[in-house]
Amino acid sequence: MIPLGISLAVGVAVAVAAFFFGRGLERARQRRETEAARDEASRIRNRAEEEAENLRRAAELQARESALRLRETWETEESRRREEVERGERRLVQRFEAADRKTDQLDRRQETLEQRARELGAAEDSLDRHREESKQILVETRARLESLAGMTSEEARAELLADLEDRARAEAANSVREIKEEAQRTAEREAKRVIAMAIQRMAADETAQLTVS
């Protein structure tokens, strides 16, 4: 039979060994749990970093796409504005050219009217000369008539015929003058009508162009 002291010593030794063995197991378990927690934290951190990187890349991609859309929109709007400006410039050039053509037409018409006025002035001067000549002829005719009493019948007849011829010429000159004056009045009325029509057309064209634009 084993002595009691030895049994107690063995029991104490077993108890101490069991205690230290348990503590070793607990420490091993704690180390495993700590490492597992550390690994889980590392995985969580890695996932968070990966998600953050994905979010950053998505944000950058979205920003680039937004910038590209904004640039395309700006370029489209800028192109539209540039085309509008070019169309406006072309319309202005066309209006200036049309105004120049109309001005040239009016200048030519004005020159024609001035030429007609000069011709009418020359005709009036000619009529004035004929009028003076007719007056002179009348004076001379009266003088001839006063001298008819001392002429033969043939001489008187010739004198009367000459006087009648002179009077006919004077009346013809007066008729020509009246015709010239009427022509001048008609030309002036026609000139005013042409100018008024030209001004109305210019105003109508300008109004139509402004309405279209």
Per-residue pLDDT tens for 4-59? 566 666 566 666 666 666 676 777 777 777 787 787 778 888 888 888 888 888 88
- 156-172 pLDDT, tens per residue? 677 677 777 777 777 76
Report residue 212's pLDDT band, with 50, 70 and 90 as the boundaries.
very low
Calculate the average pLDDT of the chain. 74
* 151: Cβ contacts below 8 Å, ≥ 6 apart: 159
Judge whether 135 and 174 are in contact, CB under 8 Å.
Answer: no
Q: Cα–Cα distance between 130 and 124 in angstroms, integer? A: 10
Report the alpha-carbon distance of residue 207 to residue 213 in Å, rounded.
10
Closest CA to 203 of 102, 91, 135, 105: 102
Confidence label for 116 from pLDDT (cuts 50, 70 and 90): confident
Q: At what angle do helices 4-146 and 153-212 cross, to 10 degrees?
A: 170
The tokens for 52 are 């953050």
Q: Is the pTM of this model over 0.75?
A: no
Give the Cβ contact number of residue 151 at 10 Å. Answer: 13
Q: Encode pLDDT of 172-197 as tens digits.
A: 677 677 777 777 777 667 766 766 67
